[in-house]
Structure 1
């Protein structure tokens, strides 16, 4: 049954995404604010199907920590789930994403029309300057910049590997950074086929206000996100001790000198 539900969701996810992009093509000719509602609609539908077909429920904690106006959202990245599940939580978000995604037919057109921020990872200093300028414009417009500081998906429980980009934006733009911890990789494993039932948690933490030095900011962000993400893994292991992904998480934690406790 798990395999069938996972298969059905995966088929639905890609077919629905493709269908919506095709049907919504006329919106690409309209101002961005007119076409934008199709994006949170896409996210809401996928979350609804996840809940009712797979049994994967999403809980968001800490909404009271979301500030007004423009700021940076720095989220842990364990699966594809957070790439759409976080969208409805913010008024006018924009992602920082690799430039190559703009070349994908239909999908790339939407990223351009919705003013997502591309980064050319092959041109470091030039790319960083261009990304910073676009991000500064977005914050000035009152938008929320969603960035995954590790740059790519990391397996649940793996050693963290935060990159320089988010610290650079924090220093250059001078706006709050909102950390987000999560446990998505246990229910939607990186590069995995199965979608497991249970409670996924996104925990929005208090913002890191401007003014810290680079090292202080980097260590503060890492400590907050990793501490809470590890707590969420422990919480999940206690509630769902038989999830197969937890065996791999336990192995990673043993390599880090930690022990994963289950009921």
Structure 2
């Protein structure tokens, strides 16, 4: 039954995504708020579909810890789930994403309109400089900058592989950083069509104030996120009675 529900959800998920990508085309000629409103609506619909079709709900903890205005949000990345779910919580988010995604027809157009922040992973130092320049513009507009410090999805329990770029960005932006822990990969595993029932828990941790040196910040961020994530994953394992992981 879980397999059938998962297959049905994936079919509907991508059909809905396609419809929204087409329906959002007029927003390319509108103020940026129009595309942001549509994206938030799409995100909320995804969460509803997961609850109805797969029995997968969610819980956000520590929302009150998010400072008002511009902030750097450094989130654990285990699945596709958080790429849209965080949109429902943050007022005016700007994701840092790989530049190649901006080249995808429809999706890339909307990402440019929403002023997401592209990064060329192959350019190294030049990529950091370009990413930071874009991020500073969005910070000046009071937006929340979302970065996945590991750069890609990591399965629950996998050895963390944080990239030092997050420390470079923290130092350059001089704004608070909110670490985010989660257990989404237990229920929405990467490289899998399965969508398991349960409760995805997301925890916004105590903000890290600006002003730390890069290495101190980097160590604290990884320790805070990994410690809290391990607890959330263990809690999810107990909830479902088994571990859904892809290694």
Measured against the shorter chain, the TM-score band is over 0.9
3-state secondary structure, aligned to 2:74? strand
Structure 1 stretches lacking a partner, 5+ long: 250-263
Give a deviation string over 1:14-42, Cα, whole Å, max 9, x none.
11011011012111111112332001000
Q: What is the TM-score normalised by the length of structure 2? A: 0.98
Partner of 2:182: 182
Q: Could you tell me which residue of structure 1 aligns to residue 20 of structure 2?
A: 20
CA, structure 1 residues 38+217, in 2 after alignment: closer, same or farther (shift >3 Å)?
same
- Tell me the secondary structure at the aligned position of residue 37 of structure 1: helix
Aligned length: 247
The residue aligned with 1:192 is 192
**Retained in 1: the 8 A contact 2:189–2:244?**
no
Partner SS, residue 72 of structure 2: strand
Distance 1:182 1:88 in 2: 15
The 2-side partners of 1:230 and 1:214 are apart by: 24
Q: Name the residue aligned to 1:209.
A: 209
| Paired residues of 2:71 and 2:145 also in contact (CA < 8 A) | yes
Give the aligned partner of residue 99 of structure 1.
Answer: 99
Runs of 4+ in 1 over 3 A off after TM superposition: none
How many Å separate the matches in 2 of 1:172 and 1:39? Answer: 28
Corresponding residue for residue 164 of structure 1:
164
CA distance in 2, matches of 1:109, 1:237: 39
Q: Which residue does the alignment assign to 1:238?
A: 238
What is the aligned partner in structure 2 of residue 71 from structure 1?
71
Q: CA RMSD in A?
A: 1.0
Following the alignment from structure 2 to structure 1, what is the Cα–Cα distance between the partners of residues 141 and 67?
15
Q: Who wins on radius of gyration, i.e. which is larger? A: 1
Shift of 1:243: 4.0
Structure 1 position 144 matched with structure 2 position 144: yes
Matched residue, 2:43: 43
Distance 1:67 1:139 in 2: 13
Provide the TM-score with structure 1 as the length reference.
0.92
Q: Which residue of 2 aligns with 1:227?
A: 227
